[in-house]
Structure 1
Amino acid sequence: MSLPALAAVLYAIACLGVIGFQIALIAGAPWGRLTQGGAHDGPLPLSGRIAAGVSILIIAAQALALLSLVGFWPHWPAWTAWVAVIVQTVSCGLNWITPSPRERALWGPVTSTMLALALVVLIFA
């Protein structure tokens, strides 16, 4: 497996982990302090759960865009990978500037690692 393909697969696996976290939030996991600015103790309110659902769609699309760039299904156009990396960059930045120290400590490194993987895909594919 080539380096960009490996990075895309690792990125997709990380996305699955993040999606799992979002599903847990929707189901009522008491992790409000770890997401969405850390404004909620315990489970998220309905609006936060809806935001988690939207996040799932965006994260899944990012994974599919980067997998497509290295030749995997669904074979989307290359420009979608650029969009995915832009979204990942914004996500990374937001997770480093969040007012929640817990969110920063968890998601700052996670989103930075995901950004590094996405850049490997984009640069070397």
Structure 2
Amino acid sequence: MDAVLEFFDTLLFGDFEMERQVVMIDLPKYKEKLVDLELAIKGCMVNNADFDPARWWGLFGGSTRHLKKIAMRILSLTSSSSGCERNWSTFEVVHTKKRNRLETNRLNNLVYVQFNANLMEKTKREKIGLWKCF
């Protein structure tokens, strides 16, 4: 329980009212099953490839509104590092042996511009490709 409280403290840092709502109202409701969870429990009995936790919270988390919001935030996080890998790839292009003395802020700005320029170019190529189909 200490870890759960520490997690909420970190996640809701500075939002004392929300933290109070979660810890004092929603969490006890959820833990003590004071809300009607019979259908909700049946909804997740079969935990197969079709089970979607975000959908479950969307359907059955209404009575614990703050916990639902937190669960949806957590379930929305990506579980792969592909976004980071793309960023690091762009970083390697910008940060070379000749440009290894750049300030952190300037380096971040260059990576941002380079990444977005590549993204714009990709979007432009896709649009041109779509027009060629017609």
Q: Give the TM-score normalised by the residue count of structure 1.
A: 0.29
More helix by share: 1
Higher RCO (C-alpha 8 Å, min separation 6): 1
Q: Give the TM-score normalised by the residue count of structure 2.
A: 0.27
- Kindly name which structure, 1 or 2, has the bigger radius of gyration based on alpha carbons: 2
